[in-house]
Protein backbone atom coordinates (compact mmCIF):
# COMPACT_ATOMS: atom_id res chain seq x y z
CA UNK A 1 0.00 0.00 0.00
CA UNK A 2 1.22 3.53 -0.85
CA UNK A 3 -0.37 6.80 0.28
CA UNK A 4 -0.05 10.18 -1.45
CA UNK A 5 -0.43 13.57 0.23
CA UNK A 6 -0.88 17.06 -1.23
CA UNK A 7 -1.47 20.62 -0.04
CA UNK A 8 -3.69 22.85 -2.11
CA UNK A 9 -5.16 26.37 -2.16
CA UNK A 10 -3.83 29.17 0.01
CA UNK A 11 -0.97 28.13 2.28
CA UNK A 12 -1.64 27.99 6.01
CA UNK A 13 0.83 27.61 8.90
CA UNK A 14 0.50 24.05 10.15
CA UNK A 15 0.12 22.36 6.76
CA UNK A 16 3.63 20.97 7.10
CA UNK A 17 2.81 19.65 10.58
CA UNK A 18 -0.09 17.69 9.07
CA UNK A 19 2.16 16.31 6.31
CA UNK A 20 4.73 15.31 8.94
CA UNK A 21 2.12 13.44 10.97
CA UNK A 22 0.91 11.53 7.89
CA UNK A 23 4.47 10.56 6.95
CA UNK A 24 5.66 9.61 10.43
CA UNK A 25 2.63 7.49 11.26
CA UNK A 26 2.64 5.83 7.85
CA UNK A 27 6.34 5.02 8.12
CA UNK A 28 5.79 3.47 11.55
CA UNK A 29 3.23 1.16 9.94
CA UNK A 30 5.37 0.28 6.95
CA UNK A 31 3.33 2.34 4.48
CA UNK A 32 5.31 4.39 1.91
CA UNK A 33 4.22 8.01 1.39
CA UNK A 34 4.58 10.05 -1.79
CA UNK A 35 4.27 13.84 -1.80
CA UNK A 36 2.45 15.55 -4.67
CA UNK A 37 4.09 18.88 -5.50
CA UNK A 38 2.01 22.00 -6.23
CA UNK A 39 -1.39 20.58 -5.37
CA UNK A 40 -3.78 19.37 -8.05
CA UNK A 41 -1.49 20.75 -10.74
CA UNK A 42 1.05 18.23 -9.52
CA UNK A 43 -1.48 15.42 -9.95
CA UNK A 44 -1.89 16.40 -13.59
CA UNK A 45 1.85 16.83 -14.14
CA UNK A 46 2.79 13.69 -12.17
CA UNK A 47 5.07 15.70 -9.89
CA UNK A 48 5.56 13.00 -7.26
CA UNK A 49 8.43 12.59 -4.81
CA UNK A 50 8.97 10.07 -2.02
CA UNK A 51 8.66 11.30 1.57
CA UNK A 52 9.75 7.98 3.10
CA UNK A 53 12.78 5.77 2.48
CA UNK A 54 13.73 2.20 3.18
CA UNK A 55 16.04 1.67 6.15
CA UNK A 56 17.17 -1.36 8.11
CA UNK A 57 14.06 -2.74 9.72
CA UNK A 58 11.46 -0.86 7.69
CA UNK A 59 10.68 2.68 6.58
CA UNK A 60 11.74 6.11 7.85
CA UNK A 61 10.64 9.66 6.96
CA UNK A 62 13.01 11.74 4.87
CA UNK A 63 14.89 14.23 7.11
CA UNK A 64 13.30 17.23 5.32
CA UNK A 65 9.85 16.17 6.54
CA UNK A 66 10.89 16.62 10.15
CA UNK A 67 12.58 19.96 9.50
CA UNK A 68 9.70 21.48 7.52
CA UNK A 69 7.13 20.28 10.03
CA UNK A 70 7.93 23.29 12.22
CA UNK A 71 7.87 25.84 9.40
CA UNK A 72 5.10 27.86 7.78
CA UNK A 73 4.16 27.73 4.10
CA UNK A 74 4.05 24.34 2.40
CA UNK A 75 7.00 22.06 1.78
CA UNK A 76 5.04 20.50 -1.11
CA UNK A 77 3.97 23.82 -2.63
CA UNK A 78 0.56 24.86 -3.89
CA UNK A 79 -0.89 26.23 -7.12
CA UNK A 80 -4.14 27.13 -8.84
CA UNK A 81 -5.11 24.51 -11.38
CA UNK A 82 -7.82 25.55 -13.86
CA UNK A 83 -7.69 22.26 -15.83
CA UNK A 84 -8.69 20.39 -12.66
CA UNK A 85 -12.03 22.26 -12.69
CA UNK A 86 -12.98 20.30 -15.81
CA UNK A 87 -14.18 16.65 -15.90
CA UNK A 88 -11.35 15.85 -18.31
CA UNK A 89 -8.76 17.30 -15.93
CA UNK A 90 -10.07 15.31 -12.99
CA UNK A 91 -10.15 12.14 -15.07
CA UNK A 92 -6.48 12.62 -15.96
CA UNK A 93 -5.59 13.30 -12.32
CA UNK A 94 -7.39 10.11 -11.23
CA UNK A 95 -5.54 8.12 -13.88
CA UNK A 96 -2.19 9.52 -12.73
CA UNK A 97 -2.69 8.42 -9.12
CA UNK A 98 -4.20 5.02 -9.90
CA UNK A 99 -1.10 3.31 -8.50
CA UNK A 100 -1.64 4.87 -5.06
CA UNK A 101 -3.97 3.32 -2.51
CA UNK A 102 -5.10 6.53 -0.84
CA UNK A 103 -4.76 10.31 -0.94
CA UNK A 104 -4.71 12.93 1.83
CA UNK A 105 -5.81 16.38 0.63
CA UNK A 106 -4.89 19.30 2.91
CA UNK A 107 -6.56 22.56 1.92
CA UNK A 108 -9.54 24.89 1.94
CA UNK A 109 -12.97 25.03 0.32
CA UNK A 110 -11.90 24.65 -3.29
CA UNK A 111 -9.42 21.91 -2.46
CA UNK A 112 -12.03 19.93 -0.54
CA UNK A 113 -14.55 20.39 -3.35
CA UNK A 114 -11.97 18.97 -5.76
CA UNK A 115 -11.36 16.04 -3.44
CA UNK A 116 -15.09 15.33 -3.23
CA UNK A 117 -15.32 15.35 -7.04
CA UNK A 118 -12.40 12.91 -7.35
CA UNK A 119 -14.00 10.54 -4.89
CA UNK A 120 -17.47 10.70 -6.43
CA UNK A 121 -16.51 10.67 -10.11
CA UNK A 122 -13.57 8.27 -10.06
CA UNK A 123 -13.71 6.36 -6.78
CA UNK A 124 -10.42 7.79 -5.52
CA UNK A 125 -10.01 6.85 -1.87
CA UNK A 126 -9.19 10.00 0.02
CA UNK A 127 -9.51 11.96 3.25
CA UNK A 128 -9.59 15.75 3.44
CA UNK A 129 -7.95 17.90 6.10
CA UNK A 130 -9.24 21.49 6.56
CA UNK A 131 -6.56 24.17 6.20
CA UNK A 132 -7.72 27.76 5.84
CA UNK A 133 -6.63 30.79 7.84
CA UNK A 134 -10.05 32.39 7.20
CA UNK A 135 -11.90 29.75 9.29
CA UNK A 136 -14.44 29.41 6.48
CA UNK A 137 -14.92 25.63 6.37
CA UNK A 138 -18.06 24.00 7.70
CA UNK A 139 -18.42 21.28 10.35
CA UNK A 140 -15.18 22.10 12.20
CA UNK A 141 -14.44 24.42 15.10
CA UNK A 142 -11.05 25.34 13.69
CA UNK A 143 -8.88 24.76 10.63
CA UNK A 144 -5.14 24.58 10.20
CA UNK A 145 -3.70 28.12 10.13
CA UNK A 146 -6.45 29.99 11.98
CA UNK A 147 -4.63 30.30 15.29
CA UNK A 148 -1.33 31.30 13.67
CA UNK A 149 -3.05 33.97 11.57
CA UNK A 150 -4.79 35.38 14.64
CA UNK A 151 -1.53 35.53 16.56
CA UNK A 152 0.12 37.35 13.66
CA UNK A 153 -2.74 39.86 13.48
CA UNK A 154 -2.68 40.45 17.24
CA UNK A 155 1.07 41.03 17.19
CA UNK A 156 0.83 43.46 14.27
CA UNK A 157 -2.05 45.36 15.90
CA UNK A 158 -0.11 45.65 19.17
CA UNK A 159 2.73 47.28 17.26
CA UNK A 160 0.38 49.55 15.36
CA UNK A 161 -1.25 50.55 18.65
CA UNK A 162 2.16 51.53 20.05
CA UNK A 163 2.83 54.00 17.26
CA UNK A 164 -0.81 55.15 17.23
CA UNK A 165 -0.61 56.20 20.89
CA UNK A 166 2.64 58.04 20.27
CA UNK A 167 0.96 60.25 17.63
CA UNK A 168 -2.70 60.23 18.76
CA UNK A 169 -3.88 58.40 15.68
CA UNK A 170 -6.71 56.21 14.50
CA UNK A 171 -5.79 53.22 12.33
CA UNK A 172 -8.03 51.20 10.04
CA UNK A 173 -6.26 47.83 9.69
CA UNK A 174 -7.37 45.40 6.99
CA UNK A 175 -6.95 41.68 7.63
CA UNK A 176 -7.63 38.68 5.43
CA UNK A 177 -11.08 37.13 5.23
CA UNK A 178 -12.64 37.36 1.77
CA UNK A 179 -15.93 35.60 2.53
CA UNK A 180 -15.59 35.10 6.27
CA UNK A 181 -15.03 37.88 8.79
CA UNK A 182 -13.92 35.53 11.56
CA UNK A 183 -10.32 36.78 11.73
CA UNK A 184 -11.55 40.37 11.97
CA UNK A 185 -14.09 39.53 14.68
CA UNK A 186 -11.80 37.41 16.84
CA UNK A 187 -8.80 39.73 16.54
CA UNK A 188 -10.93 42.78 17.38
CA UNK A 189 -11.83 41.23 20.73
CA UNK A 190 -8.27 40.05 21.41
CA UNK A 191 -6.70 43.46 20.67
CA UNK A 192 -9.39 45.57 22.38
CA UNK A 193 -10.08 47.25 19.04
CA UNK A 194 -12.68 50.01 18.94
CA UNK A 195 -14.65 48.49 16.06
CA UNK A 196 -14.77 45.53 13.68
CA UNK A 197 -15.97 45.83 10.08
CA UNK A 198 -16.98 42.57 8.41
CA UNK A 199 -18.99 41.56 5.35
CA UNK A 200 -21.58 39.59 7.32
CA UNK A 201 -22.89 42.78 8.97
CA UNK A 202 -24.16 43.97 5.57
CA UNK A 203 -23.42 47.69 6.01
CA UNK A 204 -23.26 50.07 3.04
CA UNK A 205 -20.22 52.22 2.35
CA UNK A 206 -22.02 55.36 3.52
CA UNK A 207 -23.03 53.65 6.77
CA UNK A 208 -19.45 52.54 7.37
CA UNK A 209 -18.07 56.03 6.76
CA UNK A 210 -20.66 57.70 9.00
CA UNK A 211 -20.15 55.19 11.82
CA UNK A 212 -16.37 55.46 11.64
CA UNK A 213 -16.42 59.24 11.57
CA UNK A 214 -18.65 59.33 14.65
CA UNK A 215 -16.50 56.76 16.43
CA UNK A 216 -13.23 58.58 15.79
CA UNK A 217 -14.73 61.97 16.67
CA UNK A 218 -16.18 60.69 19.92
CA UNK A 219 -13.01 58.82 20.87
CA UNK A 220 -10.70 61.80 20.52
CA UNK A 221 -13.02 64.53 21.79
CA UNK A 222 -14.00 65.69 25.29
CA UNK A 223 -12.24 64.47 28.40
CA UNK A 224 -11.70 60.84 27.36
CA UNK A 225 -7.92 61.31 26.94
CA UNK A 226 -7.85 58.53 24.35
CA UNK A 227 -4.60 58.33 22.39
CA UNK A 228 -5.31 55.50 19.97
CA UNK A 229 -8.29 54.22 17.97
CA UNK A 230 -8.01 50.81 16.29
CA UNK A 231 -10.54 49.62 13.71
CA UNK A 232 -10.20 46.18 12.12
CA UNK A 233 -11.64 45.57 8.66
CA UNK A 234 -12.03 42.23 6.89
CA UNK A 235 -11.00 42.18 3.23
CA UNK A 236 -14.52 40.93 2.45
CA UNK A 237 -15.76 44.47 3.09
CA UNK A 238 -15.28 45.63 -0.48
CA UNK A 239 -14.59 49.29 0.29
CA UNK A 240 -10.78 49.65 0.22
CA UNK A 241 -9.09 50.61 3.45
CA UNK A 242 -7.56 53.75 1.96
CA UNK A 243 -10.92 54.87 0.55
CA UNK A 244 -12.59 54.52 3.94
CA UNK A 245 -9.88 56.58 5.59
CA UNK A 246 -10.00 59.24 2.86
CA UNK A 247 -13.77 59.62 3.19
CA UNK A 248 -13.59 59.84 6.99
CA UNK A 249 -10.89 62.46 6.59
CA UNK A 250 -13.18 64.43 4.28
CA UNK A 251 -15.94 64.30 6.89
CA UNK A 252 -14.02 65.23 10.02
CA UNK A 253 -10.51 66.17 8.94
CA UNK A 254 -10.70 69.69 10.34
CA UNK A 255 -12.05 68.41 13.66
CA UNK A 256 -9.27 65.86 13.92
CA UNK A 257 -6.64 68.49 13.23
CA UNK A 258 -8.11 70.73 15.92
CA UNK A 259 -7.91 67.82 18.40
CA UNK A 260 -4.31 67.02 17.41
CA UNK A 261 -5.34 63.66 15.96
CA UNK A 262 -5.17 61.93 12.58
CA UNK A 263 -6.24 58.72 10.83
CA UNK A 264 -4.25 56.18 8.77
CA UNK A 265 -4.79 52.92 6.87
CA UNK A 266 -2.75 49.70 6.99
CA UNK A 267 -3.30 46.52 4.99
CA UNK A 268 -1.66 43.46 6.56
CA UNK A 269 -2.27 41.33 3.46
CA UNK A 270 -0.20 38.18 3.03
CA UNK A 271 1.80 38.95 6.15
CA UNK A 272 -1.07 37.16 7.93
CA UNK A 273 -0.31 33.88 6.09
CA UNK A 274 3.37 33.67 6.88
CA UNK A 275 5.53 32.64 9.79
CA UNK A 276 5.92 29.44 11.79
CA UNK A 277 2.77 27.76 13.07
CA UNK A 278 1.73 28.26 16.69
CA UNK A 279 1.57 25.37 19.15
CA UNK A 280 -2.14 25.00 18.45
CA UNK A 281 -1.72 24.75 14.69
CA UNK A 282 1.12 22.27 15.05
CA UNK A 283 -0.98 20.17 17.43
CA UNK A 284 -4.20 20.39 15.40
CA UNK A 285 -2.34 19.78 12.14
CA UNK A 286 -0.55 16.79 13.62
CA UNK A 287 -3.72 15.27 15.03
CA UNK A 288 -5.62 15.85 11.80
CA UNK A 289 -2.82 14.20 9.84
CA UNK A 290 -2.73 11.19 12.16
CA UNK A 291 -6.50 10.69 11.98
CA UNK A 292 -6.48 11.15 8.19
CA UNK A 293 -3.88 8.44 7.74
CA UNK A 294 -5.57 6.10 10.23
CA UNK A 295 -8.92 6.61 8.50
CA UNK A 296 -7.45 5.87 5.07
CA UNK A 297 -5.90 2.65 6.34
CA UNK A 298 -9.29 1.71 7.80
CA UNK A 299 -10.95 2.10 4.40
CA UNK A 300 -12.64 5.47 4.91
CA UNK A 301 -13.09 7.77 1.92
CA UNK A 302 -14.74 11.03 0.84
CA UNK A 303 -14.58 12.38 4.40
CA UNK A 304 -12.92 15.29 6.22
CA UNK A 305 -11.37 15.52 9.66
CA UNK A 306 -13.13 18.04 11.94
CA UNK A 307 -12.05 19.53 15.26
CA UNK A 308 -14.64 19.55 18.09
CA UNK A 309 -17.45 20.04 15.55
CA UNK A 310 -20.04 22.80 16.16
CA UNK A 311 -22.66 20.63 14.42
CA UNK A 312 -23.90 17.12 15.12
CA UNK A 313 -23.56 14.07 12.90
CA UNK A 314 -19.83 13.37 12.87
CA UNK A 315 -18.23 9.95 13.19
CA UNK A 316 -15.95 9.35 16.18
CA UNK A 317 -12.26 8.56 15.60
CA UNK A 318 -9.33 7.41 17.73
CA UNK A 319 -8.86 11.08 18.72
CA UNK A 320 -11.66 12.28 20.98
CA UNK A 321 -11.41 15.83 19.61
CA UNK A 322 -11.48 14.81 15.93
CA UNK A 323 -14.52 13.50 14.07
CA UNK A 324 -15.15 12.60 10.44
CA UNK A 325 -17.78 14.25 8.25
CA UNK A 326 -18.71 13.38 4.68
CA UNK A 327 -17.21 15.91 2.27
CA UNK A 328 -20.61 16.52 0.69
CA UNK A 329 -22.02 17.54 4.07
CA UNK A 330 -18.96 19.70 4.76
CA UNK A 331 -19.36 21.58 1.48
CA UNK A 332 -23.08 22.15 2.10
CA UNK A 333 -22.44 23.51 5.60
CA UNK A 334 -19.59 25.65 4.26
CA UNK A 335 -21.97 27.33 1.83
CA UNK A 336 -24.43 27.98 4.65
CA UNK A 337 -21.58 29.38 6.73
CA UNK A 338 -20.67 31.81 3.98
CA UNK A 339 -24.17 32.87 2.91
CA UNK A 340 -25.14 33.57 6.52
CA UNK A 341 -27.81 30.90 6.92
CA UNK A 342 -25.72 28.70 9.24
CA UNK A 343 -26.44 29.08 12.98
CA UNK A 344 -22.67 29.28 13.45
CA UNK A 345 -22.39 32.46 11.37
CA UNK A 346 -25.52 33.92 12.91
CA UNK A 347 -24.14 33.35 16.39
CA UNK A 348 -20.86 35.09 15.47
CA UNK A 349 -22.66 38.15 14.10
CA UNK A 350 -24.96 38.38 17.12
CA UNK A 351 -22.01 38.11 19.49
CA UNK A 352 -20.21 40.97 17.73
CA UNK A 353 -23.37 43.07 17.78
CA UNK A 354 -23.52 42.62 21.57
CA UNK A 355 -19.85 43.61 21.80
CA UNK A 356 -20.14 46.73 19.64
CA UNK A 357 -20.86 49.11 22.51
CA UNK A 358 -18.15 47.52 24.65
CA UNK A 359 -15.42 47.73 22.01
CA UNK A 360 -16.06 51.44 21.45
CA UNK A 361 -15.56 52.43 25.12
Residues marked as catalytic: 134
Q: Is 226 helix (H, G, I), strand (E, B) or coil?
A: coil
Measured in residues, the chain has a length of 361
In angstroms, how far is CA 183 from the centroid of its own chain? 9
**How far are the Cα atoms of 109, 124, 202, 246, 302 from residue 22, in angstroms, in the given order?**
21, 18, 41, 49, 17
What is the biggest distance separating any 2 CA atoms in the chain, rounded to whole angstroms?
A: 77
Strands 126-130 and 303-307, sheet pairing? parallel
C-alpha–C-alpha distance, residues 324 and 316, integer Å: 7
Helices (H) and strands (E) in the chain, counts: 12, 14
* Torsion angle of C-alpha atoms 159, 14, 49, 294, degrees rounded to 10: 180
d(CA 11, CA 73): 5
Is residue 90 within 8 A of residue 44, CB to CB? The reply is no
Amino acid sequence: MTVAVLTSGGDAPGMNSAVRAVVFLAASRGVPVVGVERGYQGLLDRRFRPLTREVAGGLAPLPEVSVHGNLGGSMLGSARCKPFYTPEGRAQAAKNIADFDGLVVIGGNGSLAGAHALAKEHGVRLVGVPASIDHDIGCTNTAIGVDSALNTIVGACDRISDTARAHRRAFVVEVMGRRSGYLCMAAAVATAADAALFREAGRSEDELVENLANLVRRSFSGDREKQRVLILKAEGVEVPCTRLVRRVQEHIGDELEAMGASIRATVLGHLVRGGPPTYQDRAVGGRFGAVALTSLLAGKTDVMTAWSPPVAGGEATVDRHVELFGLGEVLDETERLLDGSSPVTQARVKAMARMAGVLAL
